[in-house]
Structure 1
Amino acid sequence: MKSGKWTFSHIFPVAATMSILFLILLLLPTTTFSDLTSDRAALLALRSAVGGRSFLWNISEPNVCSWAGVLCNSNRSTVIELHLPGVGLSGTVPANTVSNLTNLQTLSLRYNSLSGPLPSDLSRLSDLRNLYLQHNGFSGPIPEFLFSLTNLVRLNLADNNFSGPISTSFNNFTRLGTLYLEKNNLSGQIPDLNLPGLAQFNVSYNQLTGPIPKGIAVKYPKSSFEGNPLCGQPLNDLCDNGVGGNDNGKKKKKKGLSGGAIAGIVIGCVVGLLVLLLILFLLCRKRGQKGNGSKVEGGVKESVIEIPGEKPVESVEKDGLGGGYSAIGAKLKEKEKVEGNVGGAGGKSLIFFGKVGKRGFDLEDLLKASAEVLGKGTFGTAYKAGLETGITVAVKRLRDVSVSETEFREKLEGIGSMDHTNLVPLIAYYYSRDEKLLVYDYLPMGSLSALLHGNKGAGRTPLNWETRTNIALGAAHGITYLHSQGSSVSHGNIKASNVLLTTTYEARVSDFGLAQLVSPNSGPNRVAGYRAPEVTDPRKISQKADVYSFGVLLLELLTGKAPTHALMNEEGVDLPRWVQSVVREEWTAEVFDLELLRYQNVEEDMVQLLQLAVDCAAQYPDKRPSMAEVTSRIEELCRSNLQNPTGDIINDAEEN
C-alpha cells in the first residue's frame, strides 16, 4: 500500500460499524411499530369478542396509546395498563386477546358482566402486577395457571362465581399486598397463608368451613371472614377441639342431656320468666304512681331516658353509611338531674327558637321518650325520639363541648336564628353541666350517605341523575345561605351524612355551626376525607374550606364512592386525587357511578358537574369558586335537565 491511500482492509471496520449502526436504527422503530401493531390487534379482538357499549376508542387513530383506558409506557412503545371498568362487557374473555398484551402490568375489567372461566393463556402476562376482576360472573375453580403470575401485588376476584378450595399456591404470591376473594362460592378450609406483605385480605360470604388459621386470624378483622361457617378468632364462634364450629359442640352437649334434665330446664325457665314478669309489673306500677302523685318543689328530681334496642353502635361512617339515620337501635339509661321547675321558666328547661315556638312538649316529655339510635356522628350520638304526644323529633347528645355555658348559649342563639328551606332547623336545646341536647325535626328518609352507600340489594331504588342534581342544588342553596350571613359564618362539617332528605328527596343540611362548640380532637373520624388540605384546626373552617368539602360531596354523588371507603385502597389516594388522575389520563368513563351509566343523554351534564366538583376541590383556596357561583352553575345543569329529561335506562340488548 502506498502512503496516503486506504486499502479494503482499512475501510472494512469503518464500513462494518456504520452498517451495524444503520441496521440498529432501522430496526428500533420497526420493533416499536411491531409491538403497538400487535397490541392494537389484541385490543380490537377483545372489543369485538366481549360486546358492550362503545369503548370510547377512536379506531381510526393508529396509536392505541391515545385510546381511553389504554396506558402505554413512557416511550409509547407498548401497552402496560388496560382499564375497562363498568362498560357493559359480556360473554367470555377469549384466548389470544388480553394475553397478547404481553407487557401488561395492570388489567381492570371490574364491574362488567363477563362470565366463564379465565383463559389459560393469561399465564403469559408475566409482568402483571394488578388484576381487578371483581363484580363479574367468572366461574369455575381459581385456575392454577394464575399462581405463575408471581409479580402480582393486588388481586381482586370478589363478587364472582368462583368455586372450589382456596389453593395453598397463593403462597407463590410473595409480593401480594391485596387479596379479595369475598362473595364467591369458595369451599373447604382456609389454608395457612404465609404472605408477610398481605395488608388487605377478605374471604367473607363464601362457603368456607373449619377453623381460621392462627397466622391470619390475628392480622385481619372479623369482617374479612363473616358469612362463612368458620370458627375461631376473630369470629365469636369457638372451635371444638380446634376443629369445626360451635354447632358440633352443641350437638354433643344435647346428646348428653336426658329427657328429665331437659324437662327440668324448661320448667325452671318458665317459672323464672313468670317471676321476672311479676317483678317488672310491680316496678312499673310503683313508678307510675310516683309520677302521677308527686310534684317537684324546688328539690332534685331524677328522670330516666329509656331507649330500647341493641348495644350502642360503633362509628357508622366506617362502612360507608356515614351516620346513616337508619335506626339500628341502642340501650341507654341516663339519669339527668333537673333543678327547679321542669319545663318551666327556670334556667334548666328546653329553650325553644323563633317561629317554631313550643311544640307541645317539654324537657320531661323528652326524657321519658322512647328512642332509637340513629348513629354516632362527629359531634355526638343522634336519636329518634318518639314522644307520648305522638310527636317524633331527632335529638343529638353533644360530647366534648369545650366552650363555656355563656358562649354555648350565644352560639346556639345564632344557629337557632338560621332560617332556610334547605337547612334542618334547630327547634330547641338544653344545657346543663353534664348534658347538652339539641332538638331537630326528624326526617324519616335519612341521609344522602345512607341512600348512596347503604343497601345494595335488589329492593333498593338507585338515585337517578335528576334526583342527584336536585339534591346537590338543594344542599348548595342551604350552604350559600349560611355563607351569606357573614364572611365568618361557615358550616364546618359538610359531608353526605349531614345532608338529610325529605320524602320527596329534597336536601336539608344539618349540623351547621357545631364545629365551633366541641374539642378539636372530638371524634376519631372527624370529617375524614372531606377536610380541606389547609385546615389544621377543625374549629376554624373558612368558607373556602366549606367549598372544598362540598366538592368532595359532589364527587361522591358522581362516583358513588365514599371518600373513606376501602375501594380507594386500589389506587391508594383520596377521592379528589383519584378522580383527577383518572380524568388526566382520559379514562373519564371509569369515574362515574355504574348506576348513572344506565341512563342516556346525560353524559355532557355529568362531565360538567364533574368539572365543577374538581374546581371546588382545588388544592389552593383561592382557586376554588364561591358557593354562590357553585349554586349558579348547578342551577344551569338543573335547567338543562328540565329541557332534556333523563333518558330511559339502557336495556340489556342495547348494552350488549
Structure 2
Amino acid sequence: MDNLLKFIVSVLLSLLFIRFCNGGEFIESKSFISFLVAIDPNNVLNVDRNALFSYPCYYKLHGVKCDLRSEEIIEIRLENMNLSGVIDAESLCKLSNLRVLSLARNKIEGTVPESISSCKSLTVLDLSSNFLSGNSLVLMQSLTRIKNLKKLNISKNNFTSSQRMMSLHALRRVTIKESSSSTTVSDDKKTNNHHVSLMVWVLISLGTVIVLVVLVFLYMRCVGTVKDKEVIKEVVDYPSPRKTPSDEVVDGVCNTEEKSSELYFFMEDVEKFTMDDLLEATANLTKQGICSSLYKVHISRSGVFALKRLKKLQVGFKEFSRTMKKIGSLKHQNVLPLVAYYSSNDEKMLIYKYQNSGSLLTLFEKGKWNFPWNLRLSIAVGIARGFAYIYRSSKKGNVIPHGNIKPSNILLSDNGEPLISEYGYYKFLDPDKSCLYKDNGYTAPEKTLTEETDVYSFGVILLELLTGKVVEKTGLDLVKWVKSIVREEWTGEVFDSEVANYEMYAFPLLNVALKCVDRLPDERPTMTEVLEIIEEIVNDQEDISPSSMTSFESTPGSMKHVYAL
C-alpha cells in the first residue's frame, strides 16, 4: 500500500513538473504569438513578445481571457484596436480551447482562410467592420463545419455574394448577425496572476492524490466481495420484462413535449412540400432581427415562400401548435394567410406566400410624390377591416393581439390589398430580450399586449397616411408632433400636400386617429368602431362606384376607391 501511494505521488509530481516546464503550453504560446504577429504586424498593441512567449496567460494582455484550471486561452477580444494585419487561421486554431474571437471594428485585410473551420471550440466569431474580402458563400460553407458556433457577425466587410444564399442546413446551425453589436472587452481584473494559478494547481494536485488514496483503499476492501458481485451482476443483467401497451402509452404522453412536428399545412391551393424539400431549398436572408429571421425560399415545384424563423420564444410545443392552428384558420382578404408551420423544441418556423409588391413602408418610401388620397384611404380601410375581423373571430378571453403593427408589417398583394402580417406569435416572445414593447414610435405608453395597444399602433399608421411622415426608420415622435400642431389650432398644417386637397374628408379621419392614440387605453375605440367610422368617411366621398375599384387616380373633389364597399 505504501509503495502504491509513493508511486501515485511521484507520477503526479512528474506531471506537474512537465507542465510548469513549458510542455503543453509551448505550442499554444508559439501559436498565439504567430497569430498576434499576423494580426498586428505593426505591434499597435505594444506587446513585449519575449515576455508573452513564456506563457500568454501570465502576461496581462488586454482582451485575452484564460481558463483558470487548464491555463488555456479561451477568449480573444481585440475590438477597435486599429489592427491592420491578416488572419492566421492555422495558428489560431491551435488554441484548442478558444471559444470567443472578436476582432470587430479594425482594419484587418485579406480573406478568412477556410482552415478557420478547424477552430472546433469556437462559439462566437465577430469579424464585422473590417476590410476582409472573398466569397461570403464559400466562407459560410466553411463556418458551418464548426458545430459549436452560435453567434456570427461578418457584416460591414468587402465580401462578394453578400446576400448570403445558403441551404437551410447551414441556417439551422449558424445564425448570421446582420447588425453590428458592441461586445464588452474582458476586464483586466478577470486575468489571474501567476501566483494564484500556481496555488490552484497545487491544491488540485493534492486533492487528486487524496481521492486516489481513498479509491485504492475502497478497492482493497471490495476485493473480498468479488464473488458476491458476480452473483449480483447475473441478477442485474437478467432481461427485464417487456413494456406493456399501457406503459408505452404513458411514455408517449410524457415525451409529447419533446417530439417534433412535420410541416402542418393550412392552404389547399399550395402544393405541399416536406421538411426535406425545405432544407434542400435555397434561402435568401431578407431581414434579421433580435427575435426572428426572414428568408425568401425557392422550392422548385411549389413556388416562392417567406419563411419566418423564430427565436427566443417562451412557449411549449402544444401551446404553440394550438395557437398556430387558430391563426391558420383565419381567412380574410386583408390578413396574410399562414401556409404552414413547423414546430419542435429547438426550432419554430412560419411559412407564408412571398409577396412581391412590398409593404406599406415601401409605398411610403417610393411613393412620396405619387401616393394619392384614394389609395391612402383604401389602405386605411383594408387594415381596419383585417383587424376588425381578427378581433371578431376571437372568443372572449381568448384574444391574440398583434403586438407589432407598423408599415413594414403591412404587406401589399398583387392587386394592392393591404395584408396584415406577423400576426399571432408576439405573445410568445421574451420581454426580457428586447423583443417586446420597443420604443419605436408605434408602441402604446402602457406597453402591454391588448386590443387597445393594437388600436394605438394603428392610429399612428393613420397619422402617417395623413401627414406623409414616416415613423419607422426615422424615430419621429409623430403623435407628439401632431398633437402639438392641433393644440396650436394649426390643424390644417398637419396634412401633406396631397391630403390637403381633401381636407373635408381628412379631418374626420384625423379625429379617429387622435382617438386611437389617446394615452388612456379605455378612451380608445375598438377596432370595429374604428372600421365603422372610416367606412362612413368613405361613403361620404363623391363618385364612388364598383367600376373604379382598380383605379389609383385621384383628383380634388373626387375619389375612386380600390375596394368595393
* Aligned counterparts of 1:389 and 1:521: Cα–Cα separation in 2: 41
User: How many equivalent pairs are there?
Assistant: 316
* Residue identity (%): 36
Aligned to 1:587: 490
Q: Deviations over 1:532-583 (max 9, x none)?
A: 1122x5xxx1111211111111112112223355473xxxxx2212111101
Q: Distance in 2 between matches of 1:417 and 1:391?
A: 22
Contact 2:429–2:435 under 8 Å retained in 1: no
| 1:317-371 C-alpha deviation (Å, 9 max, x unpaired) | xxxxxxxxxxx9344565359xxxxxxxx94421112x53762322121222223
Specify whether residues 416 and 545 from structure 1 end up closer, same or farther in structure 2 by C-alpha distance, changes over 3 A only: same
Contact 2:407 2:472 in 1 (8 A): no
Q: 1:524, CA displacement in angstroms?
A: 6.0
**Residue 329 of structure 2 corresponds to residue 420 of structure 1:** no
Are 1:556 and 1:563, in contact at CA under 8 Å, matched by a contact in 2? Answer: yes
| Change in 2 beyond 3 A, CA 1:590/1:237 | farther
Residues 567 and 407 of structure 1, relative CA distance in 2, 3 Å threshold: closer
Q: Does 1:441 align with 2:353?
A: yes
User: Are 1:609 and 2:509 matched, yes or no?
Assistant: yes
Rounded Cα–Cα distance in structure 1 between residues aligned with 2:285 and 2:498? 30
Structure 1 residue aligned with 2:396: 487
Please tell me whether residue 556 in structure 1 is matched to residue 464 in structure 2: yes
Structure-2 change in CA distance of 1:451 and 1:629 (3 Å): same
- Cα deviation for residue 399 of structure 1 reads 1.1
User: Structure 1 residues 412 and 593, CA, compared in 2 at 3 Å: closer, same or farther?
Assistant: same
Q: 1:544 aligned to 2:455? A: no
Q: Which amino acid aligns with 1:329?
A: Q
**Deviation (angstroms), 1:311:** 6.5
1:204-223 → structure 2 map (5 Å cutoff): none
The alpha-carbon distance between structure 1 residues 334 and 526, as it changes in their structure 2 partners (threshold 3 A), is farther
The alpha carbon displacement at 1:425 in A equals: 0.9
Matched, 1:351 2:230: no
| Cα separation, 1, equivalents of 2:426 and 2:383 | 18
Asked whether the 8 Å contact 1:384–1:394 carries over to 2, the reply is yes
Provide structure 2 residue ranges, at least 5 long, that are not aligned to the other structure. 1-104, 108-133, 148-152, 157-161, 174-258, 545-552, 558-565
1:522–1:604 CA distance, 2 compared to 1 (3 A): farther
Match of 2:409 in 1: 498
**Gaps in structure 1 of 5+ consecutive residues:** 1-235, 239-272, 284-301, 305-309, 314-327, 338-345, 569-573, 650-656
Q: 1:511 to 1:583 in 2, by over 3 A?
A: same
Q: Residue 628 in 1 paired to residue 462 in 2?
A: no
Question: Counterparts of 1:350 and 1:493 in 2: how far apart (Å)?
Answer: 25
Partner of 1:575: 478
| Residue 522 (structure 1) shift | 3.9
Tell me how far 1:427 sits from its aligned partner.
Answer: 1.0
Q: Check whether the contact 2:361–2:407 (CA below 8 A) recurs between aligned residues.
A: yes
State TM-score, norm by structure 2: 0.50
Conserved? CA contact 2:357–2:413, under 8 Å: yes
Conserved? CA contact 1:311–1:331, under 8 Å: no
Q: Distance in 2 between matches of 1:402 and 1:567?
A: 29
**Secondary structure in 2 matching 1:481:** helix
Q: Structure 1 counterpart of 2:396, which letter?
A: S
Whole-Å separation in 2 of the counterparts to 1:638 and 1:445: 25
Check the 8 A contact 1:379/1:514 in 2, yes or no. no
Please give the secondary structure, in 1, of the residue aligned with 2:307: strand
CA separation of 1:608 and 1:237: change in aligned 2, threshold 3 A: farther
Distance 1:430 1:534 in 2: 33
CA contact (8 A) 1:382 1:397 kept: yes
Query: How far 1:617 moved relative to its partner?
Result: 0.6
Residue 638 (1) aligns with residue 538 (2): yes
Distance 2:517 2:164 in 1: 37
Structure 2 counterpart of 1:514, from 410, 425, 429: 425
Correspondences of 1:369-448 after superposition (within 5 Å): 369-377=281-289, 379-389=291-301, 391-448=303-360
Q: CA 1:377/1:357 → structure 2, altered by over 3 Å: closer, same or farther? A: farther
Contact 1:529 1:575 survives alignment (8 Å)? yes
Matched with 2:60 is: none
Q: Please name the residue that 1:463 is paired with.
A: 371
Aligned partner of 1:474: which letter?
Answer: G
Structure-2 change in CA distance of 1:498 and 1:375 (3 Å): same
3-state DSSP of counterpart to 1:433? coil
Q: Does structure 1 retain, via aligned residues, the 8 Å contact 2:168–2:282?
A: no
Counterparts of 1:55-204 in structure 2, within 5 Å, are none
Decide whether aligned partners of structure 1 residues 629 and 504 sit closer, same or farther in structure 2, where only a CA change above 3 A counts: same
In structure 2, distance between residues paired with 1:422 and 1:638: 17
Q: Is the 8 A contact 2:265 2:272 kept in 1?
A: no
2: CA distance between counterparts of 1:632 and 1:449? 25
Deviation at 1:438, TM superposition (A): 0.5
TM superposition score normalised by structure 1: 0.43
Q: Which residue identity is paired with 1:473?
A: V
Q: Relative to 1, partners in 2 of residues 1:648 and 1:610: Cα closer, same or farther, differing over 3 Å? A: closer
Question: Cα–Cα, structure 1 residues 419 and 524, in superposed 2: closer, same or farther, change >3 Å?
Answer: closer
Contact 2:457 2:517 in 1 (8 A): yes
Partner SS state of residue 340, structure 2: strand
Structure 1 residue 376 displacement after superposition: 3.0
Change (3 A) 1:356 1:520: farther
Q: Which amino acid aligns with 2:294?
A: A
Which residue type is aligned with residue 554 of structure 1?
A: L
Any idea what SS the aligned residue of 1:397 has? strand
The letter of the residue matching 1:349 is E
